[in-house]
Amino acid sequence: MSIPDAHIEIPARVRDLAGRAAVTPVWRNGIGGLTFRTDDGRYIKWGPLDDEANMHDEAERMRWARRWITVPEVLAQGEDDAHEWLVTRAIDAFSAVDTRWDGKAEIAVPAVGRALRMLHDTLPVADCPWEWSVHWRVSNAAERGVVVPPELQEAPPIDRLVVCHGDACMPNTLLDAAGEPAAHVDLAALGLADRWADLAAAAMSTGWNFGPGWEDPLLEAYGVERDDERLEFYMRLWNET
């Protein structure tokens, strides 16, 4: 994922959704999806249809999660034969990998750990209608033609069943101006799973975004002792699916 060039061509659908508002590109994902910020307080996500984590699922999950935690308000969602889009109301906060946190991993990383713990402690397991279990992820991968190694098709015993974020990488936690947890975004895979499924993704992401040495501070801020067996399993599962 990266920040796109400011002069990128704006898709026609995005221009239609923006109306009279000016748009600024802010994010490009690995499959060519783009996110734009409008000058009237909205974000517009647009990209190719995605079998793994689609925007219809994301809108549905955000509407559900918003009853308990801070996530963007969904304003519109749709798709055509080739692309999908999602419009949300902007939140006054900044991604944990925003340039304002450059050189400030000691602020951003623990904040993500605390934010993830609050999400896990707050979202109600009994009310969650979706799963993100190992079985579900292996099946989803198979539908996309991805074969998961046999040793990753049986998970370690569940440490704690929670409603997982599903993509708990650093960019998907928003922090306020003081560096405190403010909100979560990109919830298309939200569902029930062992908390280590989220912790593994978040821990790996500290290295991608801030370099080595930040896994343990993230886990300490979350409030859990390092579990190498579960970390290794769920890191490998992430990379294989």
Catalytic residues: 167
Beta strands in 83-148 (DSSP E): 83-89, 94-95
Lateral strand order in the sheet of 173-175 = 94-95, 173-175, 181-184
Contact 193, 162 (CB under 8 A): yes
Q: Give φ, ψ of 15 to 5 degrees.
A: -60, -40
In DSSP notation, 140-193 reads: HHHHTTPPPPGGGSSPPPPS-EEEE-S---GGGEEE-TTS-EEEE---TT-EEE
